[in-house]
Amino acid sequence: MNLDTMLAHLGEESHDRGAVTAPIFQTSLFVQPSLDALAERFNDQFAESDFYVYSRVGNPNLTIVQKKITALERTESCLVFNSGMSAVTAGILSSVRAGDHVVAVDTIYGPSRAFIRDYLPRIGVSHTFIYGADPLEFEAACQPNTKLFVLESPSSLLFQMQDLAAVAGIAKSRGITTMIDNTYSSGILQRPVEFGIDIIVHSATKYFAGHSDLVAGSLCCTAERARDIMANEGQFLGALLPPFPAWLLMRGLRTLRLRVDEAQRQGAWLFQYLQNRPEVEQIFHAGDPNHPQADLVQKQMTGSVGFMSFTLRDVDEHAIRRFGNALELFQIGVSWGGHESLMVVVPMHPMHWEKPNWVVRLYIGLEDPEDLAADLDRAFEALRG
Ligand SMILES: *Cc1c(COP(=O)(O)O)cnc(C)c1O
């Protein structure tokens, strides 16, 4: 079966009475036909199966989305959590013990970075942050106790990349686990497992769900690792997705390909618009043919989406505020991946910049480009005061 067919149907074959859409299994508990059946299912509850015991560890609505996301990422297994952060923290915690060391890219998602920096020391896990554009930085940061590399490529503020195959190769030779946040690429534009990455996490809140109406996360890996994570972080932290948001996520996944295709067109349009604005100093966009890592985009990805950021020439805080407040169609908000266009301004000082700067991030939704252009024109006018 090809991907579009799988996103439309996979996991939904067994529902009876002719319902074309799977029902919502809004139940906490699954009762068993006999005590023997309960004992057998209890033994096997962390493996993928069509039998269920209790919704904290499994529910048919979860299975449906797990099968679709497994197909998307071409891994053996997938676990679906109640947020992207639950998937990120489960992936990290499953890979380290007290005394271990983590190497992470400096520009990963803020709360993931804060978890590594502020929380892991509490359980005796140390870390090193690196810029990550050169795979040799990973090698140089390794210590004898390094157990995990954390990547995000492209990242979601400055759209920086890592060479997945090279980094996975370094990790494999040292017995280190690799984990990537692949939210930007939505599984459609980049499949990290094909480059040897072990754990692939998504904020399913973004493109997977696609309509800004739920929070969820996914973690893809081998069946063996998924079973281990389910038996530990999955059941102990109680962070799996409940049935109703899982059902909404199923609905989002059905149109994922169509929305990502449209996002590619919208992104190309927005990039061209920004390139023509004299006020724009530098654009950060994975689809920029002059991106310093354009070769990696060629090698690892099949496209880019309508999610990019830029810096402005000669601006102070007041001008930035006028710009943001003049926008009407682009709403002010931190998330992305839904139907609505969004903007946010972030003061940034990543380790490879000499000085801090304001970064304007735009996410382009499904509105008409003409209306969005008029909105941006207004904001650029307001810059001048
Ligand atoms: C939103 C986001 C997350 C966190 O996901 P939640 O669903 O909000 O917990 C992680 N990584 C990236 C790149 C994100 O954009």
Handedness of CA 321, 326, 330, 331 (dihedral sign): positive
Task: Return the residue matching tokens 């991907």.
Answer: 3
Q: What percent of the chain has pLDDT over 70?
A: 99
Task: Return the residue matching tokens 């389910």.
Answer: 230
**The pLDDT of residue 15:** 67
Which residue's CA is the nearest one to ligand 1's atom 4? Answer: 84
Using DSSP bridges, classify how beta strands 77-81 and 101-105 pair: parallel, antiparallel or unpaired. unpaired
Terminal CA-to-CA distance of the chain, rounded, Å?
A: 56
**The pLDDT of residue 172:** 98
What φ, ψ does residue 95 adopt, rounded to 5°? -105, -10
**The pLDDT of residue 29:** 95
Neighbouring-strand partners of residue 362 = 308, 343
Q: Is 180 helix (H, G, I), strand (E, B) or coil?
A: strand
Residue 44, amino acid: D
C-beta of 203 in contact with ligand 1 (< 6 A)? yes
Q: Identify the architecture of domain 3-254 in CATH.
A: 3-Layer(aba) Sandwich (3.40)
Task: Return the residue matching tokens 């149109």.
Answer: 255
Ligand 1 geometric centre to CA of 203 (Å): 4
C-beta of 163 in contact with ligand 1 (< 6 A)? no
User: Where in the chain are all domains bearing CATH 3.90.1150.10?
Assistant: 256-382
User: Where in the chain are all domains bearing CATH 3.40.640.10?
Assistant: 3-254
In this prediction the pTM is 0.96
d(CA 71, CA 67): 6
Higher-scoring residue by pLDDT: 295, 18: 295
- Work out the angle at residue 259's Cα, subtended by the Cα atoms of residues 332 and 221, and round it to the nearest 5 degrees: 95
Residues in Cβ contact with 303 at an 8 Å cutoff, skipping those fewer than 6 apart: 189, 264, 287
C-beta of 155 in contact with ligand 1 (< 6 A)? no
Q: Are 78 and 200 in contact (CB under 8 A)?
A: no
Using one digit for the tens of pLDDT, what is the confidence trace for 318-362?
999 999 999 999 999 999 999 999 999 999 888 888 889 999 999
Using one digit for the tens of pLDDT, what is the confidence trace for 183-241?
999 999 999 999 999 999 999 999 999 999 999 999 999 999 999 999 999 999 999 99
Using one digit for the tens of pLDDT, what is the confidence trace for 25-49?
999 999 999 999 898 888 777 877 7
Q: From residue 264, how far is each of 260, 271, 305, 360 by CA, in Å?
A: 6, 11, 4, 20
Whether the bond into 154 is cis, omega within 30 of 0: yes
Confidence of residue 18 (pLDDT cuts 50, 70, 90): confident
For the residues of 220-281, what is the DSSP string, one character each?
Answer: EE-HHHHHHHIIIIIHHTT-BPPHHHHHHHHHHHHTHHHHHHHHHHHHHHHHHHHHT-TTEE
Q: What is the mean pLDDT of residues 254-265?
A: 96
What φ, ψ does residue 29 adopt, rounded to 5°? -130, 150
Q: Are 300 and 154 in contact (CB under 8 A)?
A: no
Q: What is the mean pLDDT of residues 3-16?
A: 85
Q: Are 249 and 216 in contact (CB under 8 A)?
A: yes
Q: Are 9 and 65 in contact (CB under 8 A)?
A: no
Q: What is the mean pLDDT of residues 51-78?
A: 95
**75 is written with which tokens?**
């891994």
**The pLDDT of residue 17:** 80
Neighbouring-strand partners of residue 363 = 307, 342
Q: Identify the helix (H) or strand (E) that includes residue 343.
A: strand 342-348
d(CA 316, CA 309): 17
> Which CATH class for the 256-382 domain?
alpha beta
pLDDT(144) > 80: yes
Atom of ligand 1 nearest to the CA of 336: 15
Atom of ligand 1 nearest to the CA of 216: 7
Ligand 1 geometric centre to CA of 333 (Å): 13
d(CA 250, CA 208): 9
**The pLDDT of residue 195:** 98
Atom of ligand 1 nearest to the CA of 217: 7
What φ, ψ does residue 376 adopt, rounded to 5°? -65, -40
**The pLDDT of residue 40:** 87
Handedness of CA 167, 169, 170, 176 (dihedral sign): positive
**274 is written with which tokens?**
């920004």
Ligand 1 geometric centre to CA of 109 (Å): 7
